[in-house]
């Protein structure tokens, strides 16, 4: 379970996040909706361990990681977190299957031991026959499906998705969003979707709104 | 008779063309040897050698043989060259120790042109040297100094009387044709004292030696394949020198002997009175040459048997004089009783003695 | 290694940039490797030759060129320290109709057996055992028999000086079968025929056991006459190594600069690649790639390019070395090892070092970009769409003060004295100059951008705006250009200055004459004796004749011999290329020393010094210093009259002859050569000597032209690489410009001008840095390694031409590199995510 208590972050004296608290049960998929500039990305970066809060606590299961150094955070991300980006971030010089296997590589698993779960997830996102393809041969929607597969390949505790459909047309966006929700549930992971779109947020189990005043339902 | 020196005669013959300008002195019958003048070098002749051999008793009671030979060769080359390096005369030297504990000869050899004081000879007395090897005669005592890598010796040789003239008062014929002859005398029964260094250990040595001095300009007879020679100091104070020239088939081409009896009476023996009978053979593991290392020799009415100190007394001098020969210490017995000790030399058992 | 595909795969995607970096490192490594391999081959061949000649000698007794009295041999051979002494006379002889000379060693075959058994002659046929002593016998090595087309038994006429001696080939030298110019004769015959009676060139000594070589050397040295030195055989080896070391180090230095340029190229390629892959790295960091691992992998990318380049370069270098050996010889045409036929040998250690240098260049080039990439905060980089910011961070921020500081340190480094005979300070200054100039480059680029007009066609305005706004990209390209231009310009200025100075020197150092007459083998002891001198002077048509005697002096053990030149000199030596004022005391005998003597022996004008002449010490005064480009190990010039008075030596080696009025040069030349045996004397004309000297000079520096060309290629590759990388990154920009209505041609023009601007900055900086480096080369490096000074001559026309050509080629390279990006569907590129 993820629990956030009194989290705050300021940049150059400007308070961006103030006293944010939140908790997420195992298997729960949460959407955070907010306008541009309210600190959505800052909050996500803090949860992802890409940024360090000025105050408050961050706890994933038993680990408090609000005060860890870069190496420890990197270790945490590698083992327990999964990411889906707006810009996909599919490496162009790796095949589709290799891209999916990449998180396992980082954990020191390579070869068949990495390929088997990667293939399983590719099957799950409906791209089982595209493992040997190069990313340039994929459409945007397909790329994000690859990214979803990659996110879950190492069985993360928490999946973070930042505007995953920002670069997709509405039809593809809907497919990707429902796939993401389905896969997070299938993996029994926790998920946080950050978006400005209420329609997108509707695919999650629960929706919280981030405003200048804080986080609320 | 040591025709080792004739090697050089042959060499000179090979290039008679330019050597023709050089007139070598000739050996003539009837020339009376004069001493001490004739102890010295005779540089007008083509070849000359002084040859000391003998038996030594060391302080550690080991009995060994020693040999030291100095050759002088007039090459006929560079007679008109003003260069101090002009190789008109060469000095070559062989030295050896026959040590039963080693089982073979310890040998060293040297060669140099005469000049710069590096090598030379004197007239009027025996004095010949090459580097720090010397054979030097003073007051009719000879001093031999040899320093080789594996051995060294410094010996004084004292004669018991006047030189023993071989052949016709020192005119020693080598064939029926008088062209093949040399001047040749011996100094037998030389009392030796001095020191010998073996394996870095120097010890006193004493014994009996034999010295030959011979010079000539004549070549070896065509038919000669090699020769056999002995020089023996007899226990009774007498001395025996005998040699024969050998044909390729092993038969004698010429032979001669000189026997000085204990009382001092000297007998010169003609070819018919000297017979060499080869006995047991020994084959060299290095050159494959077989040498008869035991002999029965009849000189006039007496017959002696030769037995080597050690079988392997082969000396490979292909670097200097260009031949392989056997030069070794032997004991002499008559009727199975030892009567003396001396040296035996055998040449021409591999190739014809000469060059190549 | 599980992440190898993530990083190394990326190299394959940036094929052009990777290839250029690779090529630059290949060239740098190959050149360094080639120079090293050639020199090593030459040196080891030379050393092998020396060792071969020395045989088992512990010490060698050497003297001046004319040799020394053979009494020294008698004295030394008798010493208890000496186990064996082998006297040698070495002469250089000619054989009629053959261009190559024959080295004839006069030896004592008996001593040879003990000291140099490898030179033992073998008679053919073997029956004549006295053959090595015969006066007409000469023994040629099998290779020399082939070279001179003779065999055993043949007649063989050998010519030495003005003597022709009829000899007979008596056999060969089984221990020296491969030496193409070696012959052996009896020492007495050499003394007789080659008129060196009573003199020998050398004695090889084997010492008695139990003596230390140095103790024996000192003891024996005290016994020999002045001017005769006793040294270990290795000393000559060291002398040769020292002599050519400076030359080799200079060439290696140039190769190192090529490698440095290669490193720059890796830097620019990696820097641009890091810029482009910024969000990729951010993503990898986000999903759990540790900072250190990212850094290590990026270094590994550069190192891998370096390794590939290093390995290929090593192979290419050996090939190049082979080619150089075949075409230029072991000294690359510099004349240090003439007559040697070195064999190329594979040296694993040296090769490994050069491969490692390639890896280091690659890794060093990747260092800064890797560092920048690893410190990027992934949160920001993940969001940022534009990747252009980082380039500015990488190279755009100038560090002008650091640059100025480096230039000042460079100036100070010039004042350092040579270290172990090597101009280390000079090299340091060159490196600092380069680094300082590169650091000043961004400031220079923005200054230049500010000066550019804001008018003109759109592509030009866009190009200028880009240089002003994002000088980082341009600077990355320009740094490589600067390095290569600086290198090329410095070499060009140095070589041109040197050549001009040599030309001027030639006109001064030669005695003014219409023609010169000399013995056909000037290297040996061939000479004109008094009688021949008189005959020459008496030839009708000779106006005036002045003779020169060439000798050599041994001044210190372990030092190469010093040339002694005796010729008519005026009281103030105004005809010599003097570099310092004359200081003479009345009554003192004057000598005039070359600059090398001042540097090597510390002699100063006015100083009284003792020099060994004819076996005795003579006190003379250093009256002045003259410039000498011919003898790196030093030369002493003395008036011929003084020389003859001090030595009694009436011989001469050369005659400078002016014509009497109304004489035809050709006729006089024929009459002069007729005074001695056919072919014994050679006539040379001043113009001929000058042309030949300059031809040798050009050959010597041929290899530096090669290095310059390589530097230029690397510089251009740098431009192409950075523009290729940039063009790929700027596809969207091009697409946008096409949307706005720019034609493909206009984009091409824009790229060309950007290329020209970037290169222009580099070329300008390079010319300035090059001029400064050339001054360092002339005033510090050459002074310290060759001991000679020279005037500065700027080859203006070629430099301007070179600068323009380089800029134009850079523009072309930029267009070619950008073509791929322009060809792709630029319109679509706009919509594509990065």
pLDDT digits (tens, 9 = 90+) for B135-174: 999 988 999 999 998 899 999 999 988 999 999 999 999 8
Of the candidate ranges B126-140, B219-233, C414-428, the one whose mean pLDDT is the lowest:
C414-428
Please tell me which of the candidates A83, A88, A91 has its beta carbon nearest to residue C286.
A83
Within an 8 Å CB–CB cutoff, is residue C126 touching chain B?
A: yes
**pLDDT, tens digit (0-9, with 9 covering 90-100), for C392-411:** 444 445 567 888 898 999 99
What is the pLDDT, as a whole number, of residue C479? 80
DSSP SS3 for B24: coil
State yes or no: pLDDT of B324 exceeds 50. yes
pLDDT score at C342: 67
What is the model's pLDDT at position B296? 95
Residue from C79, C82, C110 to probe the interface with B (highest B Cβ count within 10 Å): C110
Residues C482 and C437 sit within 8 Å (Cβ to Cβ): yes
What confidence category does residue C383 fall into, taking pLDDT thresholds of 50, 70 and 90? low
Buried b (16+ CB within 10 A) or exposed e, A62-101: eeebbebebeebbbbbbebbbbbbbbbbbbebbbbbbbbb
Q: Is C538 on the interface with A (CB under 8 A)?
A: no
* Domain hosting residue A60, numbered range: 2-216
- Rounded to an integer, the average pLDDT of C274-301 is 85
Residues of C in contact with A71 (CB under 8 A): 290-291
Q: Which fold has domain B3-346?
A: AttH-like fold (2.40.370)
pLDDT in tens, C120-169: 888 888 778 788 899 999 999 998 898 888 988 899 888 876 678 889 99
User: Does the pLDDT of residue C523 top 50, yes or no?
Assistant: no
Q: Which residues contact C332 (CB under 8 A, 6 or more apart)?
A: C35, C38, C39, C251, C324, C700, C702, C703
CB contact under 8 A, B85 and C136: no
C204 interface with B at CB cutoff 8 Å: no
* C109: closest chain B residue by CA: B112
Is a pLDDT exceeding 60 seen at residue C387? no
From chain C, pick out residues whose CB is under 8 angstroms from the CB of A93.
5, 9-10, 12-13
Cβ separation C285–A88 shorter than 8 A: no
**Most C CBs within 10 Å: which of B83, B86, B149, as the mutation test of the C interface?**
B83
> For residues B302 and C685, what is the distance between their CA atoms, to the nearest angstrom?
90
- Cα separation, B23 vs B12, whole angstroms: 12
- Which tokens go with C526? 């061939």
CATH value at residue A132: 3.40.50.300
The overall average pLDDT reported for chain C is 80
Q: Where do the structural domains in chain B lie, given as residue ranges?
A: 3-346
Whether residue C522 is predicted with pLDDT greater than 80 in this model: the reply is no
User: Looking at C109-123, C307-321, C439-453, which range is the least confident one?
Assistant: C439-453
Q: What pLDDT sits at residue B356?
A: 24
Q: Which of A37-41, C240-244, C578-582, C661-665 is least confident?
A: C240-244
Distance CA A113, CA C392 (A): 42
Cβ-based interface (< 8 Å): residues of B facing C: 8, 11-12, 14-15, 18, 75, 77-78, 81-87, 90, 111-113, 116-118, 319, 322, 355-356
C136 and chain B in contact, CB less than 8 A:
yes
Contacts of C among chains (3+ CB pairs under 8 A): A, B
Predicted confidence (pLDDT) per residue in B221-268, tens digit: 888 888 999 999 999 999 999 999 999 898 999 999 999 998 889 999
Given a contact cutoff of 8 angstroms between Cβ atoms, the answer to whether B205 and B58 are in contact is yes
Instruction: Say yes or no for a CB contact (<8 Å) between A50 and C280.
Output: no
| pLDDT attached to residue B297 | 95
Contacts of C189 in chain B (CB under 8 A): 78, 81, 83
Question: What number is the average pLDDT over the span B119-123?
Answer: 94
Q: What is the C-alpha end-to-end distance of chain A, expressed in Å? A: 19
Please give the structure tokens belonging to residue B39.
Answer: 């102890």
**pLDDT of res. C390:** 44
Q: State residue C715's pLDDT score.
A: 74
Dihedral pair phi/psi, residue C396, rounded to 5°:
-70, -40
Outline where chain A has alpha helix (H): 40-48, 70-80, 96-106, 112-124, 140-152, 170-186, 198-201
Q: Return the pLDDT at B19.
A: 45
Burial class of residue C296, CB neighbours in 10 A (0-12, 13-18, 19+): middle
Instruction: Kindly report the backbone phi and psi dihedral angles of residue C87, in degrees, each rounded to the nearest multiple of 5, phi listed first.
Output: -80, 145
| Partners of residue B87 in chain C, C-beta under 8 Å | 133, 186, 188
Q: Hey, are the CB atoms on A85 and C288 less than 8 Å from each other? A: no
Q: Domain count for chain A, please give it.
A: 1
The pLDDT, as a whole number, for residue B275 is 94
- Tell me the pLDDT band of C527, cut-offs 50, 70 and 90: confident
Structural Rg of chain B based on CA atoms: 19
User: To the nearest whole percent, how much of chain B has pLDDT over 70?
Assistant: 91
Distance from CA of A140 to the nearest CA of C (A): 10
3-state class of B81 per DSSP?
coil
**To probe the interface with C, which of A75, A93, A137, A167 has the most C CB atoms within 10 Å?**
A93
Asked if pLDDT for residue C184 goes beyond 90, the answer is yes
Confidence of residue A69 (pLDDT cuts 50, 70, 90): confident
Q: What are the phi and psi torsion angles at B84 (to 5°)?
A: -70, -15
Annotated domain spans of chain C: 59-231, 515-684
From chain C, pick out residues whose CB is under 8 angstroms from the CB of A94.
Answer: 5-6, 9
pLDDT at C614 over 90: no
Tokens read off for C374: 């690893």
Residue of A nearest to C378 (CA): A50
Is C291's CB within 8 Å of A74's CB?
yes
Between C692 and A64, where is the model more confident?
Answer: A64
Which chain A residues are closer than 8 Å to C285 by Cβ? Answer: 50, 74
H-helix or E-strand spanning residue A19: strand A14-24
Q: Does C2 touch chain A (CB under 8 A)?
A: yes
Among C442, C453, C449, which Cα is nearest to C477's? C442
Q: For a pLDDT cut of 90, what percent of chain A falls above it?
A: 16
**pLDDT the model gives residue C753:** 85
Q: Distance (Å, rounded) from C-alpha B98 to C-alpha B309? A: 8
């Amino acid at each position: 379970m993820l629990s956030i208590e009194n989290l705050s972050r300021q940049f150059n004296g400007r308070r961006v996040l103030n006293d944010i608290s939140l908790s997420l049960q195992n298997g729960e998929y949460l959407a955070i909706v907010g306008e541009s500039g309210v600190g959505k990305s800052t909050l996500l970066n803090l949860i992802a361990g890409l940024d360090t809060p000025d105050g408050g606590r961050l706890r994933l299961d038993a680990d408090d990681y609000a005060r860890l150094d870069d190496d420890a955070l990197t270790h945490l991300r590698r083992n327990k977190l999964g990411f889906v980006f707006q810009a996909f971030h599919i490496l162009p010089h790796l095949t589709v299957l290799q891209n999916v296997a990449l998180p396992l590589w980082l954990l020191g698993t390579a070869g068949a031991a990495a390929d088997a779960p990667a293939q399983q997830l590719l099957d799950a996102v409906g791209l089982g026959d595209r493992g040997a393809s190069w990313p340039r041969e994929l459409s945007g929607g397909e790329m994000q499906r690859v990214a979803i597969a990659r996110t879950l390949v190492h069985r993360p505790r928490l999946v973070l998705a930042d505007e995953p459909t920002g670069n997709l047309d509405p039809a593809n966006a809907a497919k990707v969003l429902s796939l993401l929700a389905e896969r997070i549930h299938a993996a029994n992971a926790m998920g946080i979707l950050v978006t400005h779109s209420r329609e997108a947020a509707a695919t999650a189990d629960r929706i919280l709104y981030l405003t200048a005043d804080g986080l609320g339902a | 008779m040591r025709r080792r020196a004739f090697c050089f005669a042959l060499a000179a013959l090979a290039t008679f063309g330019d050597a023709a300008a050089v007139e070598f002195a000739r050996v003539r019958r009837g020339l009376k040897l004069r001493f001490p003048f004739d102890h010295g070098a005779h540089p007008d002749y083509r070849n000359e050698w002084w040859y000391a051999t003998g038996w030594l008793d060391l302080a550690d009671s080991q009995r060994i043989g020693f040999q030291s030979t100095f050759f002088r060769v007039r090459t006929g080359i560079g007679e008109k060259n003003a260069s101090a390096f002009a190789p008109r005369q060469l000095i070559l030297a062989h030295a050896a120790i026959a040590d039963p504990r080693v089982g073979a000869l310890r040998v060293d050899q040297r060669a140099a042109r005469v000049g710069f004081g590096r090598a030379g000879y004197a007239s009027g007395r025996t004095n010949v040297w090459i580097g720090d090897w010397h054979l030097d005669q003073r007051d009719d005592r000879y001093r031999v100094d040899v320093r080789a890598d594996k051995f060294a010796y410094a010996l004084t040789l004292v004669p018991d009387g006047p030189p023993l003239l071989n052949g016709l008062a020192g005119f020693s014929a080598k064939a029926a044709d008088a062209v093949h002859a040399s001047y040749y005398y011996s100094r037998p029964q030389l009392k030796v004292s001095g020191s010998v260094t073996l394996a870095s250990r120097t010890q006193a040595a004493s014994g009996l030696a034999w010295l030959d001095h011979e010079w000539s300009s004549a070549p070896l007879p065509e038919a000669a394949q090699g020769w056999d020679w002995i020089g023996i100091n007899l226990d009774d104070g007498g001395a025996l020198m005998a040699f024969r020239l050998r044909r390729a088939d092993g038969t004698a081409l010429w032979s001669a002997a000189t026997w000085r009896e204990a009382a001092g009476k000297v007998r010169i023996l003609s070819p018919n009175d000297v017979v060499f009978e080869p006995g047991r053979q020994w084959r060299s593991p290095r050159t494959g040459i077989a040498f008869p290392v035991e002999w029965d020799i009849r000189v006039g009415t007496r017959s002696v048997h030769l037995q080597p100190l050690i079988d392997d007394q082969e000396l490979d001098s292909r670097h200097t004089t260009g031949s392989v020969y056997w030069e070794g210490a032997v004991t002499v017995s008559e009727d199975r009783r030892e009567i003396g000790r001396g040296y035996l030399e055998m040449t021409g058992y591999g190739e014809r003695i000469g060059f190549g | 290694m599980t992440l190898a595909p993530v990083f190394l795969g990326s190299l394959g995607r940036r094929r052009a940039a990777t290839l250029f970096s690779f090529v630059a490192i290949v060239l740098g490594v190959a050149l360094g490797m080639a120079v090293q391999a050639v020199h090593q081959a030459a040196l080891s061949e030379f050393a092998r030759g020396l060792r071969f000649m020395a045989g088992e000698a512990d010490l060698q007794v050497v003297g001046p060129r004319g040799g020394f009295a053979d009494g020294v041999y008698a004295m030394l051979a008798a010493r208890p320290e000496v186990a064996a002494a082998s006297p040698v006379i070495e002469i250089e002889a000619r054989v009629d109709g053959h261009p190559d000379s024959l080295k004839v060693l006069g030896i004592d075959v008996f001593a040879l057996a003990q000291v140099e058994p490898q030179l033992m002659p073998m008679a053919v046929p073997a029956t004549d055992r006295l053959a090595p002593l015969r006066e007409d016998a000469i023994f040629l090595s099998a290779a020399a028999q082939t070279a001179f087309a003779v065999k055993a038994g043949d007649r063989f006429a050998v010519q030495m000086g003005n003597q022709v001696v009829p000899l007979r080939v008596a056999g060969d030298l089984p221990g020296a079968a491969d030496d193409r110019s070696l012959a052996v004769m009896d020492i007495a015959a050499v003394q007789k025929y080659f008129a060196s009676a009573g003199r020998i060139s050398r004695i090889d000594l084997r010492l008695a056991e139990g003596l230390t070589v140095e103790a024996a050397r000192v003891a024996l040295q005290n016994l020999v006459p002045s001017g005769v030195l006793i040294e270990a055989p290795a000393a000559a080896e060291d002398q040769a190594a020292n002599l050519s070391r400076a030359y080799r180090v200079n060439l290696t230095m140039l190769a190192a600069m090529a490698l440095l340029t290669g490193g720059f190229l890796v830097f620019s390629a990696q820097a641009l690649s890091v810029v482009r892959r910024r969000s990729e790295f951010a993503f990898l960091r986000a999903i759990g790639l540790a900072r250190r691992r990212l850094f290590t992998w990026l270094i590994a990318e550069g190192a891998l390019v370096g390794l590939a380049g290093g390995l290929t370069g090593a192979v290419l270098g050996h090939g190049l070395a082979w080619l150089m050996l075949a075409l230029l010889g072991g000294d690359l045409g510099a004349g240090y090892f003439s007559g040697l036929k070195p064999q190329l040998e594979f040296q694993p250690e040296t090769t490994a070092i050069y491969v490692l240098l390639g890896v280091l260049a690659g890794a060093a080039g990747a260092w800064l970009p890797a560092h920048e990439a690893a410190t990027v905060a992934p949160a920001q980089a993940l969001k940022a769409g534009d990747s252009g910011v980082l380039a500015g961070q990488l190279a755009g921020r100038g560090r002008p003060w650091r640059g100025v500081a480096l230039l000042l340190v460079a100036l100070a480094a010039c004042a350092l004295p040579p270290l172990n005979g090597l101009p280390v300070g000079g090299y340091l200054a060159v490196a600092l100059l380069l680094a300082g100039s590169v650091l000043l480059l961004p400031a220079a680029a923005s200054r230049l951008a500010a000066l550019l007009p804001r008018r003109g066609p759109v592509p030009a305005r866009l190009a200028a705006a880009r240089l002003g706004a994002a000088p980082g990209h341009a600077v990355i390209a320009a740094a490589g250009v600067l390095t290569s231009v600086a290198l090329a310009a410095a070499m060009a200025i140095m070589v041109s200055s040197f050549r001009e100075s040599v030309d001027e020197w030639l006109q001064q150092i030669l005695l003014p004459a219409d023609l010169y007459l000399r013995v056909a083998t000037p290297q040996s002891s061939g000479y004109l004796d008094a009688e021949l001198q008189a005959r020459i002077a008496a030839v009708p048509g000779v106006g005036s004749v002045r003779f020169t005697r060439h000798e050599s002096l041994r001044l210190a053990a372990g030092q190469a011999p010093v040339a002694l030149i005796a010729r008519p000199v005026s009281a103030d030596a105004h005809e010599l290329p003097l570099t310092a004022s004359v200081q003479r005391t009345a009554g003192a005998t004057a000598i005039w020393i070359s600059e090398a003597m001042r540097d090597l022996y510390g002699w100063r004008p006015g100083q009284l010094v003792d020099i060994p002449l004819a076996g005795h010490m003579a006190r003379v005064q250093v009256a002045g210093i003259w410039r000498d480009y011919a003898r790196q190990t030093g030369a002493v010039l003395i008036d011929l009259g003084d020389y003859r008075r001090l030595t009694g030596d009436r011989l001469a080696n050369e005659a400078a002859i002016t014509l009497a009025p109304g004489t035809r040069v050709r006729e006089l030349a024929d009459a002069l050569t007729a005074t001695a045996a056919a072919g014994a004397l050679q006539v040379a004309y001043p113009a001929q000597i000058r042309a030949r000297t300059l031809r040798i000079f050009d050959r010597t520096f041929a290899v530096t032209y090669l290095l310059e060309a390589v530097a230029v290629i690397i510089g251009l590759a740098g431009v192409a690489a950075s523009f290729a990388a940039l063009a790929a990154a700027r596809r969207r920009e091009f697409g946008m410009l096409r949307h706005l209505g720019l034609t493909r041609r206009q984009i091409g023009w824009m790229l060309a001008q950007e290329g020209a601007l970037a290169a222009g900055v580099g070329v300008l900086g390079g010319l300035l840095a090059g001029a400064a480096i050339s001054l360092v080369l002339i005033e510090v490096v050459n002074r310290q390694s060759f001991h000679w000074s020279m005037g500065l001559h700027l080859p203006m026309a070629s430099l301007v031409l070179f600068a323009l050509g380089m800029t134009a080629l850079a523009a072309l390279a930029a267009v070619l590199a950008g073509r791929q990006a322009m060809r792709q569907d630029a319109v679509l590129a706009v919509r594509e995510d990065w």
